[in-house]
Structure 1
Amino acid sequence: MKAKRVSRNISIALICVILGLALSWQFQSIRSNAKVMNLESQKKDDLVVKILNEQKNNENLRAKLNELQVQLNKFESARGNSDENLKLLTDEIQKLKTVAGLTDVKGKGVTVTFAKEDSLNVEDDDLLFVLNELRATDAQALAINDQRIIDTTEVRVAGGYIMVNGRHVTPPYVIKAIVDPDNAVNALNMIGGALEKIKLFIDVHVEKSDNIEIPKISEELIRTDKLKPVEKD
């Protein structure tokens, strides 16, 4: 009788252990499925943001094409009218100077500030990652610590300092961008985006603004002495 009781107790204990393991496996499975579903939801959200950004870029390209067509029509209409041609050429030169970074500009955008106390952790690649992400969201003007960023601008570490346009910039590092604020914030804060890894080591603050001012680039940095126009037959 005693042996039967011991056997029954052992059986009950084994059943309890098996049930415990089964419940544990079920709980782990539920948690794993929840994580997968959450990750898939995040990926879908990121994909939606990317699609919206691409649609915005396409709209900007179409608007630019229409703008160029209007400009062409104006030149054709002003053919033979010297005063009108002069005005159109002056306006075009002003526009080209703005695009080239030779004029002060302002508009809506964002600022991205790297905390001063984390400045030793900031590398040139961190700044370049943010600049490239902002360019991808159609930023029309960029600056680091009021150094205008143009096509020939270099951002690099030299002698323990970060150099921009050949100038030593000191922390805190502040990137300004004239860009659609909502698109820029969504792109920068995207999971797996530019700031996710940077924020593991550096305190970075992104802020929208209705009035971003970006100064022009120094004209001494625009060099064309090695450039010669190609003459076509």
Structure 2
Amino acid sequence: MKKRIISRFTVILFVIGFMVATQYNTINTVDQRDTRDTWEIRQELSREKQIHSELLLEIGSLDETLGKYTGKAAEDPESILQETVEELRNLAGLTEVTGPGITLEVRPSLEAVAMGTEITEIPPDLLVRLVNEVNRFNGIEMAISGQRIVNTTAIRDINGYTTVNGERISTPPFAIAITSGSMEETRKLFSHLTASEMHDDFYIDDLTIAISEPQEQLTLPPFDGDLNTTHLEALEEE
């Protein structure tokens, strides 16, 4: 009888303790407030609107492609298929591209030259950071020392040499050509890179970036390597 009373009493005390702890937690929990200022919130909203705009453009492009297939496929299926293949080749960087752009020349700093400092390969991580900085803009195409940058491009160190697409990049100076969709975007990219902190990062490695004025026409070579299709499978006909 005593054991039963003690057990019940223990359960009651456990329940009461749990309720008190929960109440204490609720009272002492401070609501997390959004501490961002108006400018930061506006920037976040701008990024979200940009993503939304990009998605709408992509949906519109896909709808247009679908409309071509449904409207012309019955009349001339080979022509519409060839057109789609060419569009995909352009997206994959397999064709030469010409458009508004700028040229970056990576060269040794004046101090390094004056002091006779030996200029070695540009570090792969520094080159990757530059590529990521440029890719913040839409519609960008790029070629580093004649090597076209595509989705499968690898920038890495191979046996002590910095390589792009498996090809060694020459010791500075070398050029990076960049095109965009319009002169307006090119000017924005020019202004952004001119004021970028990347110059300080390059200077630490005894390098500088010289940026050309925006050009109306700049031509980039096509990607001439093998695309990695390891994870792609051919669709079998039903």
Q: TM-score of the superposition, structure 2-length normalised?
A: 0.64
Superposed, 1:122-141 pairs within 5 Å as 122-141=122-141
Residue 199 of structure 1 deviates from its aligned partner by 3.9
Matched, 1:77 2:83: no
1:217 counterpart residue number: 223
Give CA deviations for 1:184-223 in whole Å, capped at 9, x if unaligned. 22433455x444433454211122222221111114x224
User: Which secondary structure does the structure 2 equivalent of 1:183 belong to?
Assistant: helix
How far has the Cα of 1:96 moved from its partner? 0.3
**Cα-Cα RMSD:** 3.4
After TM superposition, give the deviation of residue 146 of structure 1 in Å.
0.8
Structure 1 pair 89–211 and aligned structure 2 pair: CA distance change class (3 A): same
Residue 97 of structure 1 deviates from its aligned partner by 0.5
Structure 2 CA distance, aligned partners of 1:65 and 1:167? 36
Deviates more, 1:51-60 or 1:153-162: 51-60
Q: Find the residue that maps to 2:86 and give its secondary structure.
A: helix
Letter in 1 for 2:124: D
Identical aligned residues as a percent: 22
CA distance in 2, matches of 1:200, 1:52: 33
CA distance in 1, matches of 2:71, 2:102: 40
C-alpha distance 226-53 of structure 1, shift in aligned 2 (>3 A): closer
Alignment pair present for 1:203 and 2:203: no
Structure 2 distance, partners of 1:105, 1:184, is 18
Q: Is structure 2 residue 192 aligned with structure 1 residue 187?
A: yes
Higher mean alpha-carbon deviation, 222-231 vs 197-206, is at 222-231
- Using the TM superposition, give the Cα deviation of residue 121 of structure 1 relative to its aligned residue in structure 2, in angstroms: 6.8
CA distance in 1 between partners of 2:191 and 2:218 (Å): 18
- Pairs within 5 Å for 1:150-161: 150-161=150-161
Matches within 5 A, 1:10-29: none
Q: 1:104 aligns with which of 70, 86, 96?
A: 96
Partner of 1:35: none
Q: Say whether the 8 Å CA contact 2:152–2:228 is kept in structure 1.
A: no
Comparing both structures, which one devotes a greater share of its residues to helix?
Answer: 1
Measure, in 2, the Cα distance between the counterparts of 1:68 and 1:97: 16
Alpha carbons 1:53, 1:183 under 8 Å: kept: no
- Alpha-carbon contact 2:121-2:161 (below 8 Å) kept: no
| Offset, 1:55 | 5.3
> d(CA) in 2 for partners of 1:99 and 1:232?
25
- CA distance in 1: counterparts of 2:139 and 2:199, whole angstroms: 17
Equivalent-residue separation in structure 2 for 1:48 and 1:78 (angstroms):
45
Q: Which moved more, 1:60-69 or 1:137-146?
A: 60-69
**1:54-102: per-residue Cα shift (whole Å, max 9, x none)?**
7555444432322221221221122421xx3322211110010111111
Structure 2 partner of 1:14: none
| CA distance in structure 2 between the partners assigned to 1:46 and 1:131 by the alignment | 25
CA contact (8 A) 2:73 2:80 kept: no
Q: TM-score, normalised by structure 1?
A: 0.65
In structure 2, give the amino acid aligned to 1:85: P
Alpha-carbon distance change, 89 to 229 in structure 1, aligned in 2, over 3 angstroms: closer
Q: Secondary structure at the match of 2:60?
A: helix
For 2:60, the aligned partner's letter is N
Which residue in 1 is equivalent to 2:144? 144
